[in-house]
Chains A and B, each alone.
Chain A
Amino acid sequence: AQSVSQHNHHVILSEAASLELGCNYSYGGTVNLFWYVQYPGQHLQLLLKYFSGDPLVKGIKGFEAEFIKSKFSFNLRKPSVQWSDTAEYFCAVKDGTGNQFYFGTGTSLTVIP
């Protein structure tokens, strides 16, 4: 079975700092990759997704992620965070052979004004 690791459980940043959240997965074949965000009191929302092509994908609210196949990674980045980015971030992987999504355990981001 696929496993998804998010090594940063809690991240605290000041506004305008740069963000990078790590995501690694175990499956070596074709994958679809996603980042979801859960703002306080809200439901999970899709930030961005990768299927194929350009490994650098851009999502909403200035977020981007880079797929590095050789490292089994799909790290999320944002050049300058805002207080409103305070949320929990989940990486998810769907392998090409099955219909199941595998989610990481999430990274809690707190941005200090």
Chain B
Amino acid sequence: KAGVTQTPRYLIKTRGQQVTLSCSPISGHRSVSWYQQTPGQGLQFLFEYFSETQRNKGNFPGRFSGRQFSNSRSEMNVSTLELGDSALYLCASSTGQGAIYGYTFGSGTRLTVV
């Protein structure tokens, strides 16, 4: 059974650019959540998508957005990149909304903004 797949693994962007990250959940998982991981802040929740609808949103500016497709794949977009957006972005999938039984995480996309 394939795990959660995130692409690309690494990205380097310059300030002001935008970036799109992709996540393919485990087959059969309909919920996809995104987290930002940084050394000082740990994991911070960005948003959760379930059945193509955003169900929950963390405390991030509107520059961070996402969407989910009918096959449960999800994309996350960050516009007007800032240096502080440099982080590991993790995607996690679960069977149901709210991940009551826990997440399966992907390996992440390491974004560096220069």
Partners in one complex: yes
A contact residues vs B (CB 8 Å cutoff):
32, 34, 36, 42-46, 49, 51, 90, 92, 94, 98-106
How far is it, in angstroms, between the C-alpha of A100 and the C-alpha of B60 when the chains are bound? 14
With a cutoff of 8 Å between Cβ atoms, the chain B residues found around residue A99 in the complex are 48, 55-56, 97-99
- Interface membership of B102, Cβ < 8 A: yes
With a cutoff of 8 Å between Cβ atoms, the chain B residues found around residue A36 in the complex are 105
A90 touches B105 (CB 8 A): no
Closest residue of chain B to A49 (Cβ to Cβ) is B102
Q: Which of A49, A51, A94, A103 contacts B42 (CB 8 A)?
A: A103
How far is it, in angstroms, between the C-alpha of A45 and the C-alpha of B107 when the chains are bound? 10
B99 touches A101 (CB 8 A): yes
With a cutoff of 8 Å between Cβ atoms, the chain A residues found around residue B99 in the complex are 94, 99, 101
Q: Which of A44, A46, A102, A104 contacts B90 (CB 8 A)?
A: A44
- Interface membership of B11, Cβ < 8 A: no
- Interface membership of B12, Cβ < 8 A: no
- Interface membership of B100, Cβ < 8 A: yes
Closest residue of chain A to B55 (Cβ to Cβ) is A99
New A-B contacts (10) at CB < 8 Å, excluding given A43-B3, A103-B45: A36-B105, A43-B108, A46-B102, A99-B48, A99-B99, A100-B56, A100-B58, A101-B99, A103-B43, A106-B42
With a cutoff of 8 Å between Cβ atoms, the chain A residues found around residue B40 in the complex are 105
